[in-house]
Structure 1
Amino acid sequence: MTKWTPTHEAPEPLEGPVVATITGGTILWFVLFLAQLPFYGWFSDHGHLWWLWTCLAGGGLGLVGVWYVRKRDAAIRRHVAAARAAGRESSAP
Protein backbone atom coordinates (compact mmCIF):
# COMPACT_ATOMS: atom_id res chain seq x y z
CA MET A 1 0.00 0.00 0.00
CA THR A 2 2.91 2.35 0.57
CA LYS A 3 3.76 2.41 -3.12
CA TRP A 4 0.41 4.13 -3.74
CA THR A 5 0.98 6.79 -1.08
CA PRO A 6 1.88 10.14 -2.68
CA THR A 7 5.28 11.51 -1.70
CA HIS A 8 4.54 15.13 -2.51
CA GLU A 9 2.16 17.67 -1.06
CA ALA A 10 -1.17 18.24 -2.71
CA PRO A 11 -1.44 21.53 -4.61
CA GLU A 12 -3.62 24.33 -3.33
CA PRO A 13 -7.19 24.16 -4.63
CA LEU A 14 -7.97 26.46 -7.52
CA GLU A 15 -10.38 29.23 -6.66
CA GLY A 16 -12.31 30.94 -9.38
CA PRO A 17 -15.74 32.39 -10.03
CA VAL A 18 -17.48 29.46 -8.30
CA VAL A 19 -20.82 31.20 -7.74
CA ALA A 20 -21.01 32.33 -11.37
CA THR A 21 -20.05 28.88 -12.64
CA ILE A 22 -22.70 27.08 -10.57
CA THR A 23 -25.33 29.70 -11.44
CA GLY A 24 -24.54 29.38 -15.15
CA GLY A 25 -24.78 25.60 -14.99
CA THR A 26 -28.10 25.79 -13.15
CA ILE A 27 -29.53 28.15 -15.75
CA LEU A 28 -28.32 25.81 -18.48
CA TRP A 29 -30.11 22.82 -16.89
CA PHE A 30 -33.37 24.78 -16.65
CA VAL A 31 -33.05 26.02 -20.25
CA LEU A 32 -32.50 22.44 -21.42
CA PHE A 33 -35.59 21.36 -19.46
CA LEU A 34 -37.72 24.10 -21.00
CA ALA A 35 -36.37 23.40 -24.49
CA GLN A 36 -37.33 19.73 -24.22
CA LEU A 37 -40.74 20.31 -22.64
CA PRO A 38 -42.59 20.82 -25.97
CA PHE A 39 -41.37 17.35 -27.04
CA TYR A 40 -42.79 15.60 -23.98
CA GLY A 41 -44.94 13.28 -26.13
CA TRP A 42 -42.04 12.23 -28.33
CA PHE A 43 -39.80 11.53 -25.34
CA SER A 44 -42.61 9.52 -23.72
CA ASP A 45 -43.29 7.48 -26.88
CA HIS A 46 -39.62 6.60 -27.39
CA GLY A 47 -38.76 5.81 -23.76
CA HIS A 48 -36.54 8.87 -23.32
CA LEU A 49 -38.64 10.71 -20.77
CA TRP A 50 -35.77 10.45 -18.29
CA TRP A 51 -33.90 13.08 -20.36
CA LEU A 52 -36.54 15.62 -19.40
CA TRP A 53 -36.50 14.71 -15.70
CA THR A 54 -32.70 14.63 -15.63
CA CYS A 55 -32.63 18.27 -16.74
CA LEU A 56 -35.19 19.22 -14.11
CA ALA A 57 -33.24 17.37 -11.41
CA GLY A 58 -30.03 19.10 -12.57
CA GLY A 59 -31.71 22.48 -12.24
CA GLY A 60 -33.08 21.65 -8.80
CA LEU A 61 -29.74 20.37 -7.55
CA GLY A 62 -28.13 23.44 -9.09
CA LEU A 63 -30.33 25.65 -6.90
CA VAL A 64 -29.02 23.78 -3.86
CA GLY A 65 -25.50 24.25 -5.24
CA VAL A 66 -25.98 28.00 -5.70
CA TRP A 67 -27.20 28.31 -2.12
CA TYR A 68 -24.21 26.27 -0.88
CA VAL A 69 -21.49 28.13 -2.79
CA ARG A 70 -22.92 31.52 -1.83
CA LYS A 71 -22.81 30.52 1.86
CA ARG A 72 -19.30 29.12 1.38
CA ASP A 73 -18.10 32.30 -0.32
CA ALA A 74 -19.57 34.44 2.47
CA ALA A 75 -17.90 32.25 5.12
CA ILE A 76 -14.53 32.54 3.38
CA ARG A 77 -14.87 36.32 3.22
CA ARG A 78 -15.82 36.49 6.92
CA HIS A 79 -12.82 34.33 7.82
CA VAL A 80 -10.43 36.50 5.79
CA ALA A 81 -11.87 39.68 7.35
CA ALA A 82 -11.57 38.22 10.87
CA ALA A 83 -7.99 37.12 10.22
CA ARG A 84 -7.07 40.58 8.95
CA ALA A 85 -8.73 42.22 11.94
CA ALA A 86 -6.93 39.88 14.34
CA GLY A 87 -3.62 40.56 12.59
CA ARG A 88 -4.07 44.31 12.94
CA GLU A 89 -5.05 44.08 16.59
CA SER A 90 -2.06 41.94 17.52
CA SER A 91 0.39 44.27 15.75
CA ALA A 92 -0.94 47.38 17.54
CA PRO A 93 1.29 48.67 20.38
Structure 2
Amino acid sequence: MRLWLREEERRPAPPPSASDDATALLVGCVAWAVALVAVLVASFVGAVVEPAVLSTVVIGLVLGTIGLFYSRNRR
Protein backbone atom coordinates (compact mmCIF):
# COMPACT_ATOMS: atom_id res chain seq x y z
CA MET A 1 0.00 0.00 0.00
CA ARG A 2 1.34 3.40 -0.98
CA LEU A 3 0.40 6.69 0.60
CA TRP A 4 1.48 8.85 -2.31
CA LEU A 5 0.26 8.47 -5.90
CA ARG A 6 1.88 9.92 -8.94
CA GLU A 7 -0.07 12.59 -10.79
CA GLU A 8 -0.97 10.28 -13.69
CA GLU A 9 -2.38 7.63 -11.30
CA ARG A 10 -4.82 9.97 -9.58
CA ARG A 11 -8.48 10.19 -10.46
CA PRO A 12 -9.79 13.62 -11.46
CA ALA A 13 -11.52 15.66 -8.80
CA PRO A 14 -15.32 15.43 -8.84
CA PRO A 15 -17.25 18.49 -9.99
CA PRO A 16 -18.54 20.74 -7.20
CA SER A 17 -22.05 19.96 -6.07
CA ALA A 18 -24.77 22.48 -6.73
CA SER A 19 -26.25 24.08 -3.64
CA ASP A 20 -28.76 26.80 -2.97
CA ASP A 21 -27.13 29.09 -0.44
CA ALA A 22 -30.09 31.47 -0.33
CA THR A 23 -32.43 28.76 0.95
CA ALA A 24 -30.07 27.73 3.72
CA LEU A 25 -29.56 31.35 4.77
CA LEU A 26 -33.30 32.02 4.67
CA VAL A 27 -33.98 29.04 6.95
CA GLY A 28 -31.31 30.33 9.34
CA CYS A 29 -32.81 33.84 9.34
CA VAL A 30 -36.25 32.43 10.09
CA ALA A 31 -34.78 30.46 12.99
CA TRP A 32 -33.11 33.62 14.37
CA ALA A 33 -36.39 35.54 13.97
CA VAL A 34 -38.27 32.85 15.91
CA ALA A 35 -35.61 33.01 18.62
CA LEU A 36 -35.96 36.81 18.74
CA VAL A 37 -39.72 36.55 19.19
CA ALA A 38 -39.24 33.96 21.94
CA VAL A 39 -36.74 36.18 23.77
CA LEU A 40 -38.98 39.24 23.48
CA VAL A 41 -42.04 37.32 24.71
CA ALA A 42 -40.03 35.97 27.63
CA SER A 43 -38.87 39.46 28.56
CA PHE A 44 -42.40 40.89 28.40
CA VAL A 45 -43.77 38.06 30.53
CA GLY A 46 -41.31 38.98 33.24
CA ALA A 47 -38.51 36.50 32.83
CA VAL A 48 -35.00 37.80 33.30
CA VAL A 49 -33.33 37.85 29.89
CA GLU A 50 -29.60 38.36 29.76
CA PRO A 51 -28.53 41.17 27.42
CA ALA A 52 -26.02 38.79 25.83
CA VAL A 53 -28.85 36.49 24.74
CA LEU A 54 -30.79 39.33 23.13
CA SER A 55 -27.71 40.74 21.42
CA THR A 56 -26.71 37.29 20.14
CA VAL A 57 -30.11 36.77 18.56
CA VAL A 58 -30.16 40.24 16.98
CA ILE A 59 -26.61 39.91 15.64
CA GLY A 60 -27.40 36.46 14.23
CA LEU A 61 -30.45 37.84 12.45
CA VAL A 62 -28.53 40.82 11.07
CA LEU A 63 -25.59 38.73 9.83
CA GLY A 64 -27.92 36.18 8.27
CA THR A 65 -29.81 38.93 6.45
CA ILE A 66 -26.55 40.42 5.16
CA GLY A 67 -25.48 36.97 3.99
CA LEU A 68 -28.83 36.44 2.28
CA PHE A 69 -28.56 39.68 0.33
CA TYR A 70 -24.93 38.94 -0.56
CA SER A 71 -25.80 35.43 -1.72
CA ARG A 72 -28.67 36.59 -3.91
CA ASN A 73 -26.75 39.49 -5.47
CA ARG A 74 -23.63 37.39 -6.13
CA ARG A 75 -25.31 35.37 -8.90
The answer for the alignment partner of 2:64 in structure 1 is: 62
Encode CA deviations 1:10-38: one digit per residue, 9 max, x unaligned.
86554312110001101110110111112
Query: Is 2:7 the partner of 1:33?
Result: no
> Aligned-pair RMSD on alpha carbons?
2.3
SS of aligned partner of 2:48: helix
Change (3 A) 1:12 1:30: same
Q: Which structure 1 residue ranges, 5 or more long, are not aligned?
A: 1-7, 75-93
SS of aligned partner of 2:36: helix
Counterpart pick for 2:23 among 20, 27, 47: 20
State how many pairs are aligned.
63
After superposition, where does 1:81-92 map in structure 2 within 5 Å?
Answer: none
**Percent same amino acid among aligned pairs?**
27
Amino acid at match of 2:33: F
| Higher RCO structure (Cα 8 Å, ≥6 apart) | 2
Amino acid at match of 2:53: W
